[in-house]
Homo-oligomer: A and B are copies of this chain.
Amino acid sequence: MKDTVKIDEGGGGQASADLIKEIRDILNIKNKWTNCNDDAAIFNTGKEKIVFTTDSYIVDPIFFPGGDIGKIAISGTINDLSVMGAKPIGIALSIVLEDGFPKDNLKKIMHSINKVSQEAKVPIVTGDTKVTDKGKLDKIVITTSGVGLVQNIISNNGAQPGDFIISSGDLGEHTIALLAKRFNYQTKIKSDSHAFNFELAQVGKYLKACKDPTRGGLAANIIEIADKSKVKIILDEKTLPYKKETTAISNLLGLDVFSLASEGRFIAAVNPKNVNKVLTILKKFNKEAKVIGHTEIGKDVFLKTALDTLRPIKMPKGKLIPRIC
């Protein structure tokens, strides 16, 4: 390692991946005890398979259309367990507050956390609270960790040539809602932030690989599925899972839609024979659920354009949008 940490290294793209690799290498994060990927670790005790995950949230602004830092923290942790095929059984909540943080805001965030916890039926079971000096923190940092139990693990390396790629709904709305609030831009787009444990549990047995496209967006997460599963993935421009307004605002801000984050969606690989069953179930939760591409023998991810050409989708590099989660 050299020099200093840069804000670019927190955006979820290649720079983040490089920093995380440096840290993981020192900590020797693969070992015989556990199976480890970016979303969660799995322990097989012989009696239970326990899934364990953690995430820190430094969202700016902390309140935004469709949610707040508390809602995305707890939803995010429930979702990280769910994409592994686990049933979440409890969340640990650690809060660092700046001296001077308004108690009304704290109360609002705690009520928001409680609402998600109640609706998703995943209790907050333990926690920690620290307070730091004024000017030493931007308001609040929330870290949520979760434990779940799993029978059949959904990996992110199980896609095979010939599968369909599905999305549980339109993508990128979390980033757009947050940026619109940051820049005071009027839009109807709201954050997609929510816990998707129930919808995923109903289709989990049909999913051969699954990820939630948070930091790094569809690009980083679909590339991860392609790389780990050793398949080529072709996304279809005609069925891209982005609303017109999402794409328009994204273009206006000079952003790549494929790198926009969602906080309540998942993408997955599904065998063609199961795809109708899966979509019928998912559409009960969100009518935007659909097939967005397919897999072939090969590697890398491509967008099949309206002109029938193949444009490579690349891992987002450098400064994506920091502090969206």
List the interface of chain A (C-beta within 8 A of B): 1-11, 16, 19-20, 22-24, 26-29, 31, 33-34, 36, 40-41, 43, 45, 47-48, 50, 52-58, 89-90, 92-104, 106-107, 110-111, 113-114, 117, 123-134, 136-138, 141, 143, 145, 147, 149, 322-323, 325
Contacts and interface: CB of A to CB of B under 8 A. Distances in A.
A225 to B, nearest CB: 19
Nearest to A96: B56
Contacts of A136: 58, 137-138
A102 B1 CA distance: 9
A27 B114 contact: yes
A26 B114 contact: yes
Contact of A34 (B90, B128, B134): B90
A31 B110 CA distance: 17
A138 to B, nearest CB: 4
Contact of A4 (B4, B26, B100): B100
Contacts of A33: 89-90, 123, 125
Given A5-B131, A98-B5, A147 B147 contact: yes
A209 to B, nearest CB: 19
B126 A28 contact: no
Nearest to A118: B28
A50 B128 contact: no
Given A7-B131, A29-B126, 15 more contacts: A1-B103, A19-B129, A19-B131, A22-B107, A34-B90, A41-B125, A52-B90, A52-B126, A52-B145, A54-B93, A54-B94, A56-B128, A94-B143, A131-B322, A132-B322
Nearest to A12: B130
Given A5-B99, A50-B147, A143-B143, A36 B125 contact: yes
Given A5-B99, A111-B26, A125-B34, A131 B10 contact: yes
Contact of A129 (B10, B26, B48): B10
Given A20-B129, A132-B10, A107 B26 contact: yes
A133 B97 contact: no
B92 A145 contact: yes
Contacts of A52: 90, 92, 125-126, 145, 147
A111 to B, nearest CB: 6
Contacts of A40: 126
Contacts of A123: 28-29, 31, 33-34
A282 to B, nearest CB: 27
14 contacts: A1-B106, A4-B100, A23-B95, A27-B114, A34-B125, A40-B126, A52-B92, A52-B125, A55-B94, A56-B130, A130-B323, A130-B325, A131-B322, A145-B145
